[in-house]
Structure 1
Amino acid sequence: MKVIVLGSGVIGVTTAYYLARAGHEVVVVDRQGAPALETSFANAGEVSPGYSSPWAGPGVPVKAIKWLLMRHGPLVIWPKLDPVMWLWMLKMLRNCTAERYAINKSRMIPIAEYSRDCLRTLRDETGIAYDERSRGTLQLFRKQKQLDSTGGDIAVLKQYGVPYELLDRSGCIGAEPALANVKEKFVGGLRLPQDETGDCHMFTQSLAQEAAKLGVQFRFNTRIDRLVADGNKITGVVTGDGLLQADAYVAALGSWSPRLLKPIGIFVPVYPVKGYSITVPVTNPDGAPVSTVMDESYKVAITRLGDRIRVGGTAEISGYSDRLDAARRATLDHSLSDMFPHGGDLREASFWCGLRPMTPDGPPIIGATRYGNLYLNTGHGTLGWTMACGSGRVLADLISGRKPDIDVRELNVSRYDQRFG
């Protein structure tokens, strides 16, 4: 079967790889000149199934007000005259209940855990290298109140069988020795020892090379204009290079998926939430993190990637703007210099932003549509790197007519009301 995959971020490339492994003829189309040049380019670097939780949850509306008022707050909203923005935020608020949180979490954990297992298998089979480390994630608490309120998170971890360690100050230093330099600034932490880290951009580019060896064709610098539908099937995709046709099509365009799908009557409530990162060269390995430290107060992840430190964070709701905001960098700079003051040289940091494709309930959208040959793999939010391999493998199985290893029926777009968009 010939399959066209639209998008060459980490989701699109993993999908293409697994489709090729299954014996399909695969063409990947992207407007960029190489894989992983947008949201997959410089994310926080975490592969963290244990932190696969919906943003929408009990207490979040109250916390959001506090975050908006903080100098280095993790949330920024730039209101626009955009009904899609307001409708998406309203839908997210409707998911901020204990009942909805439990349902949405139960849909996210299985695909995240499965994806980590798929990544490990892929790594063993291909020998792919991407500055990966398997040394866990440490959620660091600056205040005793934060540490005392971990009961709910721990209960969820226990429910899903996710290993964890609740650490005091000395335990945190044992996991991340450089924190001994700032031990007065935190009280404890929650560590997930099975989490991993790695450079998503490096991984995606290397996997694209592996996919090419399997026959995958990449059509870069190709504008994607629209899908052509006839009855209950897609008959082609109009691009800057003309009409491209295949037996099946996969939309893996992240935040841009809704704009492609709306004209053919498929409504996906995916909205861009901008994230920022800085990448800092390591100047003192003993003063840098060994894995990922999540600064809970600012929701900033500080990750070691080879001879670099990646610092990622902020949820900015500002439409499709890709403008770099100096105030957002200040938050990242502050968290790194506060926790790892001797690890890297901020004067040499590169600054980046990307548009995370967020759903209002949290889980991604994976699976078939009402068009018999159109499939979706989008809406992974901050967890695209965490869920990529599992999502790609599952979708390849569905297209191939095989039963996936895990049940993903509740990740289908049909969970949303298609009558009103």
Structure 2
Amino acid sequence: MTHIAVLGAGVVGVTTAWYLRQAGYDVTVIERESAAGMQTSFANGGQISVSHATPWANPAAPMKALKWLFREDAPLLYRLRADKAQLKWAMQFLQECRADRADANLVQMVRLGLYSRDALQQLRADIDIDYEQQTRGIMHFYTNQAEFDAAIAPTERMQELGCERHVIDINNAVNLEPALYPIAHKLKGATYTSRDESGNAHLFTQRLAERCIEAGVKFLYDTEILALNTDDYSARPHVHSITIQPKGENAQTFSADSHVLALGSYSVSLMKPLHIHLPIFPAKGYSATYQINPRAPHLAPFVSLIDDEFK
């Protein structure tokens, strides 16, 4: 049986391991943390949002970013520093801000999003996995007229591509989400995508990892991945093994027939010795969890919400 090593036990690595195992492969997942979903997937926003497919890189982004440089409360903080990798990423980002590139990227993101959402719904039906999922749709709301106006064209483009995102007026927005009523006088409009979802990414990753183990997938936790070992003489080097270091042990070699790299931004340093430069630069996000007052549950949002202006 072909043996595949999946490097990284985040939501992407664990889901990849599940599908590979279902396809009949012998699978080992290698992860430096002590459990699945403990890095980027740990406190993820948790939206299954095809409707949020407008690329960060778009014609309006450079001017917004320039304004945000001088604001400590900016929706996206970009701190300039003497970092060659950051500068290279920024230049590539600017190249993608052209209108033609932004549209091409939107098309790909919508297609990938639709496929991913369908795959998740099918997976949920197949194995009845519970991860605090909600299928109430996603609403983007706007308190700035210019931001709302700018959202109409991408929304129509998404509709052409099969994403059921619709522009709705303030009354519809408040009816769908009564928690918006206190700021109804500030709203300029909204969009709503009924088939989008939300859920707990950390819980999904850990519960799917449990299903993977039941299906025969092996997990090597507390194991650092130090290097990808290749045939140096090849023009296109083949990774024949990896160097790993289990916690408290010496480095050792681990072999598999194929390898899947699912380490997020940590993938960059592993690929660099192979002269493969991944255009990835890490961004830090923040999330907060609040206990809902049981005496006033109506004050909490029912629909998953996105404030587009403030990200």
Give the alignment's TM-score, normalised by structure 2: 0.93
> CA separation in 1, counterparts of 2:175 and 2:69?
34
**Contact 2:58/2:99 (8 A) holds in 1:** yes
1:93 paired to 2:83: no
1:291 is matched with: 303
**Contact 2:165/2:193 (8 A) holds in 1:** yes
**Contact 2:114/2:163 (8 A) holds in 1:** no
Q: How big is the shift at 1:147?
A: 2.5
1:238 paired to 2:246: no
**Counterpart residue type for residue 289 of structure 1:** P
**Counterpart residue type for residue 113 of structure 1:** L
**Contact 1:72/1:298 (8 A) holds in 2:** no
Q: How does 1:131-150 map to 2 (within 5 A)?
A: 131-150=132-151
* Moved beyond 6 Å, runs of 4+: none
Q: How big is the shift at 1:43?
A: 1.2
> CA separation in 1, counterparts of 2:181 and 2:112?
36
1:81 paired to 2:82: yes
**Counterpart residue type for residue 303 of structure 2:** S
User: Cα 1:184–1:72, aligned 2, differ >3 Å: closer, same or farther?
Assistant: farther
SS at match of 2:81: coil
> CA separation in 2, counterparts of 1:181 and 1:18?
45
1:60 paired to 2:73: no
2:257 is matched with: 247
Range with bigger deviation, 130-139 or 148-157: 148-157
> CA separation in 1, counterparts of 2:26 and 2:66?
50
2:20 is matched with: 19
- The CA deviation string for residues 368-403 of structure 1, in whole angstroms up to 9 with x for no partner, is xxxxxxxxxxxxxxxxxxxxxxxxxxxxxxxxxxxx
How many residue pairs get matched?
299
1:280 is matched with: 290
> CA separation in 1, counterparts of 2:88 and 2:165?
37
**Counterpart residue type for residue 115 of structure 2:** Y
Identity of aligned residues (%): 35
2:171 is matched with: 170
User: Cα 1:151–1:181, aligned 2, differ >3 Å: closer, same or farther?
Assistant: closer
**Contact 2:26/2:217 (8 A) holds in 1:** yes
**Contact 1:142/1:296 (8 A) holds in 2:** no
> CA separation in 2, counterparts of 1:269 and 1:150?
27
> CA separation in 1, counterparts of 2:271 and 2:155?
39
**Counterpart residue type for residue 310 of structure 2:** Y
**Counterpart residue type for residue 260 of structure 1:** L
> CA separation in 2, counterparts of 1:201 and 1:151?
33
> CA separation in 1, counterparts of 2:160 and 2:167?
16
Give the alignment's TM-score, normalised by structure 1: 0.69
> CA separation in 2, counterparts of 1:145 and 1:108?
24
> CA separation in 2, counterparts of 1:107 and 1:62?
24
SS at match of 1:275: coil
> CA separation in 2, counterparts of 1:185 and 1:72?
20
User: Cα 1:145–1:106, aligned 2, differ >3 Å: closer, same or farther?
Assistant: closer
**Contact 1:138/1:191 (8 A) holds in 2:** yes
> CA separation in 2, counterparts of 1:69 and 1:12?
38
Q: How big is the shift at 1:150?
A: 2.7
> CA separation in 1, counterparts of 2:72 and 2:180?
24
> CA separation in 1, counterparts of 2:107 and 2:281?
22
- The CA deviation string for residues 231-275 of structure 1, in whole angstroms up to 9 with x for no partner, is 332111101041110111011100000101111221111110111
Q: How big is the shift at 1:71?
A: 5.0
User: Cα 1:166–1:251, aligned 2, differ >3 Å: closer, same or farther?
Assistant: same
Of Structure 1 and Structure 2, the greater strand share is in 1
> CA separation in 1, counterparts of 2:206 and 2:18?
12
> CA separation in 2, counterparts of 1:173 and 1:161?
25
**Counterpart residue type for residue 304 of structure 2:** T
> CA separation in 2, counterparts of 1:253 and 1:200?
16
**Contact 2:133/2:199 (8 A) holds in 1:** yes
- The CA deviation string for residues 319-340 of structure 1, in whole angstroms up to 9 with x for no partner, is xxxxxxxxxxxxxxxxxxxxxx
- The CA deviation string for residues 119-175 of structure 1, in whole angstroms up to 9 with x for no partner, is 001000111001101111111111233323333212312221211232222111111
1:116 is matched with: 117
Q: Report the aligned-residue RMSD.
A: 1.3
1:389 is matched with: none
**Counterpart residue type for residue 100 of structure 2:** E
> CA separation in 1, counterparts of 2:243 and 2:106?
37
**Contact 2:140/2:308 (8 A) holds in 1:** yes
User: Cα 1:215–1:169, aligned 2, differ >3 Å: closer, same or farther?
Assistant: same
